[in-house]
Structure 1
């Protein structure tokens, strides 16, 4: 049996997501890959046809109207990891995932806001010149986390 105190936890969410389909696919992946909670900031979608496993009923779902509201509610022991193509981002391949963190993804067309980038403790990116679909990007991050042993931050 896994000891959650040793394992740590993570949540994953989308900032101003574009489509309900992306959100539903991300939720399904989050449930399969061990997320502790899911969330949205800005745009809100209540029911996702792509969430065939009904992740919303299996784990806590939070919605925040703004980044400022979200930032006030990040768990005290967690760090914020933004997923963004940015000059300050480190390659996901070499990134050591914090034991307790919250992953934040932006919509494909606008990415994360400057404020979200500035307030992220870490920024990660993929080997890609163009943005990836948000649900795909989130799934890759969660898979990478599962494939590596999170560090204790």
Structure 2
């Protein structure tokens, strides 16, 4: 089964670099849109880590509240180090997911956590930054689903400077 719809919501992200890294991951893992709240990202919107310019392809939209833009039919999944959350290795990703991430220097707002259908966390020995968290979650989603394992897909996905083959 190929996952059909992935949307990301970022609550008041602090770092434009982290958001740009999330946009790169979004392009690599098939995210359809990214919503964000707050002004901190808007003031620093440089996209300096979005080297593939995914911000031009993936809508990145500032909104007042993340819970007002839940995609139709989406399961809302909070990603947060919170007691009682599901460890990511044990989580089954929904086909249509709206993943909510808190700010780098805080947590998801309690009202957003209550709105979630599930809350997951990544077991680590310390907290991850926002971009690393999003990358791991999106990779986990892909790894647990079906994906193209062909050499043609590898050729399509890699950088132009990489022509390696295992013979």
TM-score normalized with structure 1 length: 0.86
1:99-129 deviation per Cα after TM superposition (whole angstroms, max 9, x unaligned): 0011111122211111111111110001124
Q: Which residue of 2 aligns with 1:148?
A: 144
In the TM superposition, 1:34-53 aligns within 5 A as 34-43=30-39, 44-45=41-42, 46-53=45-52
The structure 1 segments of at least 4 consecutive aligned residues displaced by more than 2 Å after TM superposition are: 43-47
In the TM superposition, 1:11-50 aligns within 5 A as 11-43=7-39, 44-45=41-42, 46-50=45-49
**Helix, strand or coil: the match of 2:56?**
helix
For the residues of structure 2 that align with 1:60 and 1:20, how far apart are their CA atoms?
15
Structure number with higher strand proportion? 1
For the residues of structure 2 that align with 1:71 and 1:49, how far apart are their CA atoms?
28
Q: Which has the larger radius of gyration?
A: 2
Contact 2:11 2:108 in 1 (8 A): yes
For the residues of structure 2 that align with 1:79 and 1:47, how far apart are their CA atoms?
31
Gaps of 5+ in 1: none
For the residues of structure 1 that align with 2:70 and 2:129, how far apart are their CA atoms?
24
Q: Which residue of 1 aligns with 2:60?
A: 61
For the residues of structure 2 that align with 1:32 and 1:61, how far apart are their CA atoms?
15
1:5-64 deviation per Cα after TM superposition (whole angstroms, max 9, x unaligned): x63110123211111111111111111111111121113334311111111111222211
Shift of 1:135: 0.3
For the residues of structure 2 that align with 1:73 and 1:22, how far apart are their CA atoms?
22
Instruction: Check if 1:133 corresponds to 2:132.
Output: no
TM-score normalized with structure 2 length: 0.79
Instruction: Tell me the matched-pair count.
Output: 143
